[in-house]
Amino acid sequence: MSLKERAAIVQYIEKEKIIAIIRAQSSQALMEVVEALKRGGIHCIEVTMTTPGALEILEEVRKHMDDVLFGAGTVLDPETARLCIASGAQFLVTPSLNERVIEMAHRYDVPIIPGALTPTEILRAWECGAEVVKVFPASSLGPSYIRELKGPFPHIKLCPTGGVNLENITDFLKAGASCVGVGGSLVRKDLIEGKQWEELTDLARRFKEAVRLL
């Protein structure tokens, strides 16, 4: 991946606005979830490393789906970051700020969205080269916190994650977020367990419609 490609991935995420966060039990289950989300208009997917066999699942789905942007989430250390990239991750997401993970991502020219919460952490993540900073957990402080952060940090791209749902997604984006990470309120466990793919597609469509004009 080149610097140009890295920038293109970040631009694509910003254009799409929604990163769907998935925890799946198998590559087949993940592909079914992704297909349902795609039909609803969502094309940015984060596969968390808390998923059993996540690296194998990521590698398998990357072989079969080239029209979806796949990232690896909950990346806690440099070695996991390296393995995720080797398995095909096109971007990395972390729940906290680990400068060595950022260094590893950049060694392989892969975009990274590290987690941070305080102004000091957010600025440090940006200074270390983060393309976007994940504000986590966003539900604790809400959209007003994003708006307040953009005052001193208008140049830092923020991705609130944690507690983002249909009721507040537009508020987060209007407050200045470049994109959002959405987990359980979109990729609902009950819909996956019940293989209710049409319902999942409809839910994805509603999320996508909510951000379409922003």
Q: Where are the domains of the chain?
A: 3-207
- What pLDDT does residue 125 have? 98
- What pLDDT does residue 192 have? 94
CATH of 3-207, one of 3.30.1180.20, 3.40.50.300, 3.40.190.10, 3.20.20.70: 3.20.20.70
208 has catalytic annotation: no
Helix H, strand E, coil C: the string for the chain is CCHHHHHHHHHHHHHHCEEEEECCCCHHHHHHHHHHHHHCCCCEEEEECCCCCHHHHHHHHHHHCCCCEEEEECCCCHHHHHHHHHCCCCEEECCCCCHHHHHHHHHCCCCEECEECCHHHHHHHHHCCCCCEEECCHHHCCHHHHHHHHCCCCCCCEEEECCCCCCCHHHHHHCCCCCEEECCCCCCHHHHHCCCHHHHHHHHHHHHHHHCCC
189 has catalytic annotation: no
Query: Which entry of 17, 60, 131, 134 is annotated as an active-site residue?
Result: 134
Query: Which entry of 17, 46, 60, 131 is annotated as an active-site residue?
Result: 46
- What pLDDT does residue 70 have? 96
- What pLDDT does residue 2 have? 61
pLDDT, averaged in runs of 10, over the chain (214 residues) = 81 98 86 95 95 90 90 97 97 98 97 98 98 95 98 98 97 98 96 96 98 88
Note the pTM of the prediction, 2 decimals: 0.96
